Amino acid sequence: MIDWTYLQQNFDWLGHIVEAIAIAMVFALAAMIFYERRVAILIGLAFAAGHFHGREKRDYEISVHMPPPHLDGYMIWRWSWDQATDFWPVALVLFALSLVVYWRSRR
């Protein structure tokens, strides 16, 4: 039996990374209609990073009952530990993948 509560409490960040990579792949596939493969992959990775930043920003705004226009939501140092650990690992992995794609394509 899998303890889903334990996984959610301790490995939620890993699920977000897998989700971000899946989002990046889907967006990159769609972008390949218009762009060369390397550019499409970089666009997909950037889109996935933006998606997670927007989602965690929205979660922060909702958790503190922030009224519009929500400009203080960009102050990511105010986010809760859970919001930060959802975003930063995803951002770092996507950034590292974008560097790999960029460097490999320059050869």
- Expressed as residue numbers, the domain containing 31 is 11-105
Q: What pLDDT does 71 receive?
A: 84
Q: Is the pLDDT score of 82 beyond 90?
A: no
pLDDT band at 45 (very low <50, low <70, confident <90, very high): very high
E-strand ranges in 1-107 read none
In a domain, 2, yes or no: no
pLDDT tens per residue, range 46-59: 999 988 888 888 88
Tell me the CA distances in angstroms from 105 to 25, 36, 39, 76, one per residue in order: 17, 11, 10, 32
**Predicted confidence (pLDDT) per residue in 27-39, tens digit:** 999 999 999 999 9
**Tell me: the pLDDT tens digits for 17-30?**
888 999 999 999 99
Q: Evaluate whether residue 6 is within a structural domain.
A: no
Split into its structural domains, the chain has a count of 1
Q: How far is the C-alpha of 70 from the C-alpha of 43, rounded, in Å? A: 26
